[in-house]
Every structure is written in structure tokens, then in C-alpha cells.
Amino acid sequence: MGTDPVTLFLCGDVMLGRGVDQILPHPGDPTLREPYLRDARDYVEAAEAVGGPIPRPVPYAWPWGDALALLDRAAPDVRVLNLETSVTRSDDFAPGKEVHYRMDPANLPCLAEARPDVCALANNHVLDFGVRGLQETLAALADARLTAVGAGWDAQEARRPAVVEVGGDRRVLVFSFGTASSGISWTWAAADAVPGVDFVSEASSADAAAVVDRVRRAKQPGDIVVASVHWGSNWGYRIPREQVRFAHALIDGGVDVVHGHSSHHPRPVEVYRGRIILYGCGDFIDDYEGITGHEQYRDDLRLLYFVSVDPGSGELADAWAAPVQTRQLRLRHASAEDAQYLRDVLDRVSHGFGVRVDPGPDGTLVLRPARNRA
């Protein structure tokens, strides 16, 4: 069995629907049922108002921008992202929701540009267009040979981890599940013969124990386990105690990396028992450019996280992040000033979790334990 560290690429919410879908080669129906906007193209106009004209249609690689070169240069062994949109032409708008995301299945080559190994689906937008929309999403991803996890045609499939073989003798197991705190309705939970997501009603000890039981049954010696969890509110840096307890319980039970997402901006990082917890990776690709109201969080700044794990012990070997900024619905290298801003914020909010954030080469951020934690 290989002993070199396994490097994972992790990022937050990849939302290729709505405005992003409209600039791609095969825009779907732009109809919205939001309180203030009724056409997805209005989000493109809002982005153009602050960033400048966006050519249409753009190449499939456009939304990823400079992130693709960063990915190729880092050459991670496994790429994991949270795909937070339905891939469907369904018009079954989920009732009781103000925001619905869908991308046309013909635009899936855009997702494929990033060559994801695993697409986590247990989030609060994958059923925006009902069960029919989820079924079409699952079928479209399967046809494109893109691995989905966290949602399925029934509970057994939704709970089954994705397995990625690395180098022929190592495995990375990815579990995807979502909590009520991120806005996922309990009615979206997969059940026997019922399509849906792997839903966790609350981040309690009982829920953690149920996940840990699944991890222990699936994990083999030398496996690296990632828990990709959609949880928490959209804004703010405070991490509720129940989330901390839940993350610790997962690691105590055999999880090696906690990949948290749902927040619109990066949240604290913790190293607990030698394993990393990303409480919130923040948005990655979306159509929020031009939307105002929370400018203090600088949600235009995004991070690519790279986490290296020792396959023998499961402990963290190295972790760093590359800052980018969205402009014209496209990711671009962040300026030195913006990279410093992200470093300062992450260092400050992660200090209480025993992590310091140092400047790295080429504007990267290095995530290091500041002290040993039991």
C-alpha cells in the first residue's frame, strides 16, 4: 500500500443554475418564482452592472476561470464539490421556497470541466424541482459519468458512500448528508422506494452515532473517509456548539476529514485529533455577483481547499487554500490585498479552534495547527 499522502481538493457550493446557466451554450427556461425577480437573466444583468459585460454564450470553462489552472497545478488525487443545483428541465417548482436553482442537462459539460471525482448532493437545492427534477439530476449525472453521493432513488442509495480508488491500492470514501439547519426540509429525506437526500434532522449525538455506524461498516484499513455535510446558516462566523460536538463525534468514530458547506463565505477551520474540520467552505460558483446586503463578509472572495492526508494514520499531513474572486460570473486570481484579507479573517476566526493561517507561496494560505488539541 502506498504511503504518500493523499491530496483532496474540497470546495463549497457550486451553483451552476439560474444566472450561470443562462450564459452557458444551452440556457434553460429562465422563469423564476422569486419575490422580486421573475427571470434568471436579471442575475446576469446584475453581475454585468458591477463587473462589466459578459459574452454570451460563454465557453463551458468560463465559470471556473483561473480555478482550473490552479487545480491542474496542485494535481489533487481526489476532487470533491457540493453541487447545489438541480440538473433538470422540470417545471415542478418546490412549494414554499423563495429560491430555486436549475441548470439545463445539456450544460453538464461545464461541471465536467473541473473533473470532479465526487459531487455531493445532500443540500437544500437539489430537490428545488421536486422528485422529478431529482430523478433527472441523478440520471443526467450518471449519463455524464459524474459520481453523485448523498441523494438517490431510495434511502439505501442516498446513504451509500462514493468510493474513489487512488493509485490502485488506496480508497477515499465520501459520505454526503445534510441537516435541517441548512434549510433542507425533512420531506426531502430519502426512504424505502422514495427518492431524496440523506437527511439528518439535527446535529445530535444520536445522529452522529448513526453516521458513525455507517462509516465503521464501510471503512477498511487504509481508507480515508470524508464526511461532506451541508449544515448551518448562510452568514456569520460563530459555530454552534452542537455542530462542534457533531464534528468531533464524527472524527472520534472514524471520519478523517469533515467537509462542511452551506455558508456563503469561509468559516473557521479546526484540527481535532490530528484531523481537519472545515466548518464552512463558502460559496464557490454562483450568480450572486451584484447582489447587495452582506458586503462585510466579502462573499465575492472564494477558496480552493487542498488537504493532504496520511493514508496510514488518517491524520492531516498538510492543508492550504488558494484565494480567487468572482467577476463577470468567472473565478479569477485574487489580488494580494484580497488574499491578505482572507488570511486575516480566517486566522482570526480559526484561532479559537487551534488553527493559524499563514501566508504561503503565490498568495496561498497555509492552514496549520497552532497547538496540540486533545
What whole-number distance in Å separates Cα of residue 1 and Cα of residue 84?
35
Per-residue model confidence as pLDDT tens digits over 214-273:
999 999 999 999 999 999 999 999 999 999 999 999 999 999 999 999 999 999 999 999
What whole-number distance in Å separates Cα of residue 252 and Cα of residue 296?
35
Considering the entire predicted model, what is its pTM? 0.96
Burial of 178 by CB count in 10 Å (0-12 exposed, 13-18 middle, 19+ buried)? buried
Which of the two residues, 373 and 358, has the higher pLDDT score? Answer: 358
Q: What is the mean pLDDT of the chain?
A: 96
Q: What is the pLDDT of residue 160?
A: 98
Q: What is the pLDDT of residue 374?
A: 38
Distances (CA, A) of 291 to 49, 71, 299: 10, 28, 10
How sure is the predictor about 373, in pLDDT bands with cuts at 50, 70 and 90? Answer: very low
How sure is the predictor about 370, in pLDDT bands with cuts at 50, 70 and 90? Answer: confident
Q: How many CB atoms lie within 10 A of CB 131?
A: 16
Per-residue model confidence as pLDDT tens digits over 2-22:
679 999 999 999 999 999 999
Q: Is 371 a residue whose pLDDT tops 70?
A: no
Q: DSSP state, 363?
A: G
What whole-number distance in Å separates Cα of residue 363 and Cα of residue 11?
18
Instruction: Give the whole-number percent of the chain exceeding pLDDT 70.
Output: 98
Per-residue model confidence as pLDDT tens digits over 137-153:
999 999 999 999 999 99
What's the N-to-C CA distance of the chain in angstroms? 29
Q: What is the pLDDT of residue 201?
A: 83
Whether the Cβ atoms of residue 142 and residue 151 lie closer than 8 Å to each other: no
Q: What is the pLDDT of residue 264?
A: 97
Q: Is 38 a residue whose pLDDT tops 60?
A: yes
* Alpha-helix residue ranges (DSSP H) falling in the chain: 19-23, 41-51, 67-74, 108-112, 130-143, 155-159, 205-218, 241-252, 336-350
Per-residue model confidence as pLDDT tens digits over 185-225:
999 999 999 999 999 987 788 999 999 999 999 999 999 99
Per-residue model confidence as pLDDT tens digits over 61-107:
999 999 999 999 999 999 999 999 999 999 999 999 999 999 999 99
Q: What is the pLDDT of residue 204?
A: 82
Q: Is 372 a residue whose pLDDT tops 50?
A: no
